[in-house]
Chain A
Amino acid sequence: MKFRAKIVDGACLNHFTRVSNMIAKLAKTSTLRISPDKLNFILSDKLANGGVSMWCELDQKNFFSEFQMEGVSAENNEIYLELTSENLSRALKTAQNARALKIKLTNKHFPCLTISVELLSVSSSSRIVTHDIPVKVIPRKLWKDLQEPVVPDPDVSIYLPVLKTMKSVVEKMKNISNHLIIEANLSGALNLKIETELVCVTTHFKDLANPPLVSESTSQDRNPEQMAEVHIDIRKLLQFLAGQQVNPTRALCNIVNNKMVHFDLLHEDVSLQYFIPALS
């Protein structure tokens, strides 16, 4: 198993840092999947922990100037590593104005993802910071739990409003209730609702767009005004919203009635999918 990669371009580095910051906000520990073309950050929570799952995908070519990897075997040319997301984001934070950054899979008493940063300093001398992030190599037999989640046919699919606005709304709602109902229909309406014994609060978003329907699904013969709804843990939603520092190029929300909500985000060339299951 081998992996080494290099970033020399400042913009790529910043972009990669942003992605890792986002991941750190979304998941405490995540799985990094390395394959010849792609990097994935994966979270698949146990049902007991809320069952949230995340699938973040980025094209290796858009970030790295050099990229070499050798997977477990020729047929399974992949590497799965479990790491503490914060370590990665902290390591990248020191690379803010670096000349070059190298990532390498190393074995220093224990497996590490070594990030080596060549810093620019005022004098001509070179300064090198290395971070050894301890990782756990995930054995083959567990890979099956870490495959790209199948997106179920949504009942309603709708573009999200500005995420910052949504975040501030949800933040306030969190003070009142632990649960939130997210509902939307096919005519551009999205509601965030909390209900407690004392008070019910609903925030209405109107005139949002609905993406054209692609598949032959049940939603085609759906009444456009009819709401699809799902009860979710408000903290999970907030965590997702808090992780979005920059407004994505595209933000789509898919609701499967009373089953789950699926957020599909695109940041330039990084796609993020985030699944929050319904509370039973």
Chain B
Amino acid sequence: MKSFLSIFRSPTLLEKTVEKCCISLNGRSSHLVVQLLYKYGVRKTHNLSFQDCESLQAIFDLASCPHMLRAPARVLGEAVLPFPPALAEVSLGIGRGHRVILRSYQEEEADSTVKAMVTEMSIGEEDFQQLQAQEGVAITFCLKEFRGLVNFAESNSLDLSIHFDAPGRPAIFTVKDSLLDGHFVLATLSETNPHSQDLGSPERRQAAPQPQADSTPHLDDFAGDDIDSYMIAMETTVGSEGSRALPSIPLSPGPRRPRSPSPHSEEEEEAEPSTVPGTPPPKKFRSLFFGSILAPVHSPQGPSPVLAEDSEGEG
């Protein structure tokens, strides 16, 4: 991912000098080839090696989320500012007088002798463009990913919508403008006894409409039409070992599954190896990029919206 980003490091310079950019997969040498065609016939070719990987598929349904709020990313950016950088999770809820409350989440079993500071941000309804939720609802999710997402949306001055349901169900964050339609799915912490939910939770069985036709390696995200879905499926487990590993999606989630109590992994769904399709036709990529439709790149190893933001800088 890093090497991919480094190609597009200085978007302003690239914009001035580069006429075309071809991205293709070289099947023989298993390289992702990025060619930048500069003015005066100068051509820069980057061969990036990549690993085949299973991508995670989040199953979610926007329509099933009864609660929704929408605000400029700047408002949410200011809202997360007071929270300490090390804080893992944050709760979002609706408080009295329809105020939106963000509160640092602390695990109950946290060492009782060393108590951490609890920070709470309360924002008036007026700052939100849309607020569709009753008082009293609350969800808890990862702050780090949320921060990245907010940063990304803020740098593009987008509005951020948050769709959510009961605790434990995925929360979907959406950004949208003329070029880009992004869905970010974050798991939320379930408030109820985590062990009472079994792994084969309803979400998995219920055939939620899948935004992407097939589950594929990450590049196939581009293979859709103009509008790309960028998805993060996060696993936030309260398990002892799992809980600290949450920012990264396990590369091989298979063997992990039985070990972790993972009450929240319901929205995480890996592609079955058999469904990994062959190399998509390079033509498709080309046309996509010629259309200067810049889509955030889905990286299964470290799905950081911040990283995506860089490659998005040209847009």
Contact = CB atoms under 8 A, between A and B. Distances in A.
Say if A and B assemble together.
yes
A266 to B, nearest CB: 30
Contacts of A257: none
Interface stretch (B114-122, B170-178, B239-247, B251-259): B114-122
A43 B116 CA distance: 20
Given A91-B117, A134-B115, A134-B116, A125 B123 contact: yes
A133 to B, nearest CB: 5
Interface in A117-149: 121, 123-134
Binding site secondary structure of chain A: strand
Interface string B26-64: 000000000000000000000000000000000000000
A129 B122 contact: yes
Nearest to A112: B118
Given A94-B81, A121-B78, A127 B123 contact: yes
Nearest to A113: B117
B315 interface: no
A127 B124 CA distance: 6
Interface residues of B, number: 18
A112 B120 CA distance: 14
Main secondary structure of the interface of B (DSSP, over half): mixed
Interface in A68-95: 84, 87, 90-91, 94
A131 B118 contact: yes
A130 B122 contact: yes
Contact of A87 (B117, B124, B127): B117
Interface string A166-193: 0000000000000000000000000000
A110 interface: yes
A129 B121 contact: yes
Contacts of B123: 125, 127
B124 to A, nearest CB: 4
B127 A121 contact: yes
B84 interface: yes
Contacts of B78: 121, 127
Nearest to A88: B117
A236 B94 CA distance: 47
A123 B127 contact: yes
Interface of B: 78-79, 81-82, 84, 115-127
Given A90-B84, A124-B126, A134-B115, 17 more contacts: A94-B81, A110-B115, A112-B118, A121-B78, A125-B125, A127-B79, A127-B121, A128-B121, A128-B122, A129-B119, A129-B121, A131-B118, A131-B120, A132-B117, A132-B118, A133-B117, A134-B117
